[in-house]
Amino acid sequence: NKFIVPPPRIVNREVVKPLLCGPGPCDYWPSVAEALSKPVLTPICDEFFSVLDEIRAGLQYVFQTRSKLVLAMSGSGHSGMEAVISNLVGRGETLLIASRGIWDQRANIIANRYGIKVETISIPMNVTFSAEQLEPELKRLRPTAMFITHGDSSTGTLQNLQGLGDLCHNSLRFSFRRYGALLLVDTVVTLGAVPFFMDEWGVDGVYTSTQKAFSGPAGITPVAFSARAEEKIKTRKHDPPFYFDIKLLASQWNCYGSTRTYHHTMSPPLFWALRCCLQEIAKETLPASWARHEATTARFHKRLREYSFEFLVPKPEDRLATVTTVVLPKGYDYMEFVKTMRARHNILIFAGLGPTVGKALRIGLMGVNSTIQVADAVAEAMADTLRALKKSSL
Ligand code: GLV
């Protein structure tokens, strides 16, 4: 018998789906669940091309950009991070990373693999940067680009981005093009839920995700590049990896209205789903979605304060609307808390990640789960879990 590996026994089993209130993935829009079972189209036909065009129009809306270089990578959020960095910063060039959580650490690892010279400026994980902290580093290093996360799902902070584009490109205080750096931003856990204006804020390279505030499946990652970034892509001396090459992808996506050149085989179900997420956001409108997320989080935080939970992020203005980080009283075990929430309430929240391991719970209220009812249910379940664990083990 030449088969050294027998067929595995893969049995069907029941999955009891929890309410997904971690930092992602989030529950789907009902229409997205339907969209995932639409007929499979070949990614090379007119019907599919019109899906791509609709996705690009939806992405220009959610990123608030008129840029033509807007598309979605076939891959998880990390593919967006890798595409933005590898297309815009070449070997030996400097990338300044503003560091306060796990995602900038990932950017650091990725950039190092491309031979990029990485410089970091760090602050404690539960606060955010001011322009005054960043400017001396831009001045000293004259980097090709600066990387910063808008929302950090590992720590629950929201970075104010206003003014950072001007700071990177010119200088708030000095003459035009003094620094000439590109601004690269991770909006994985913010886009759709929190105000973001790519063109107005001068963002040059940005990516987001579909499994968080978009309420869709992971595996397809929106990216957008400014005119400045496009110029860099046209004139760069380095070649990014083939799979991440935005020049080639722009041609597959017909970003400039002239070509549809095959690059790789896209996944039609994921494209139907993304199109549907964008349709839902467009129907609700961004201002309404932002207001809904703000109201849900205000309610959730009020309830947490009533139950005497402590926030990891001290300043309310630094707190992210989509992911809340909570510090438990001494003696509680974070993993046990998460497991007990699931066992008693079938609600899935997460423990810490990266700098918050063993230091915080992470609760995500975003996309379809950003409602007052969910906020109340999660706060009540957390209070019950705290009481239950106290009785049994403290
Ligand atoms: C993943 O994105 C996480 O924040 O856990």
Query: Is the same domain home to 235 and 301?
Result: no
Give the CATH number for residue 148.
Answer: 3.40.640.10
Angle 330-105-201 from CA coordinates, rounded to 5°: 105
Query: Is the same domain home to 177 and 318?
Result: no
Instruction: Tell me if 362 is assigned to a ligand binding site.
Output: yes
C-alpha of residue 258 to centroid of ligand 1, in Å:
38
Residue 282's φ and ψ, nearest 5 degrees, are -65, -40
**Structure confidence at residue 171 (pLDDT):** 53
Angle 189-195-199 from CA coordinates, rounded to 5°: 105
Shortest-distance atom of ligand 1 to CA 153 = 4
Tell me, using a 6 A CB cutoff, whether residue 149 lines ligand 1.
no
Q: State whether residue 181 is helix, strand or coil.
A: coil
The residue range of the domain holding 367 is: 19-25+285-393
| pLDDT tens-digit map of 208-265 | 999 999 999 999 999 999 999 999 999 999 999 999 999 999 999 999 998 899 999 9
Q: Is the entire prediction scored with pTM above 0.90?
A: yes
Tell me, using a 6 A CB cutoff, whether residue 353 lines ligand 1.
yes
- The answer to whether residue 9 sits within a structural domain is no
- The answer to whether residue 363 sits within a structural domain is yes
Query: Is the same domain home to 171 and 301?
Result: no
Query: Measuring from atom 4 of ligand 1, which residue has the nearest CA?
Result: 153
- The answer to whether residue 14 sits within a structural domain is no
Pocket test for ligand 1, best of 324, 353, 356, 357 (most atoms within 8 A of CB): 353
Shortest-distance atom of ligand 1 to CA 189 = 2
* Stronger pLDDT, 176 or 276, i.e. the higher one: 276
Q: Dump the DSSP string for 355-384.
A: GGTTT-EEEE--GGG-SHHHHHHHHHHHHH
Name the amino acid, one letter, at 321. A
| pLDDT tens-digit map of 108-144 | 999 999 999 999 999 999 999 999 999 999 999 999 9
Query: Is the same domain home to 52 and 161?
Result: yes
Query: Is the same domain home to 318 and 200?
Result: no
d(CA 101, CA 185): 14
320 CB-contact burial (10 Å; exposed 0-12 / middle 13-18 / buried 19+): buried
Domain boundary among 254, 283, 312: 283
Query: Measuring from atom 5 of ligand 1, which residue has the nearest CA?
Result: 23
Tell me, using a 6 A CB cutoff, whether residue 153 lines ligand 1.
yes
Give the CATH number for residue 305.
Answer: 3.90.1150.10
C-alpha of residue 117 to centroid of ligand 1, in Å:
26
239 neighbors 58 (Cβ within 8 angstroms): no
Query: Is the same domain home to 296 and 271?
Result: no
C-alpha of residue 153 to centroid of ligand 1, in Å:
6
Query: Is the same domain home to 176 and 198?
Result: yes
308 neighbors 327 (Cβ within 8 angstroms): no
Query: Is the same domain home to 265 and 290?
Result: no
Query: Is the same domain home to 100 and 227?
Result: yes
| pLDDT tens-digit map of 316-367 | 999 999 999 999 999 999 999 999 999 999 999 999 999 999 999 999 999 9
Query: Is the same domain home to 276 and 311?
Result: no
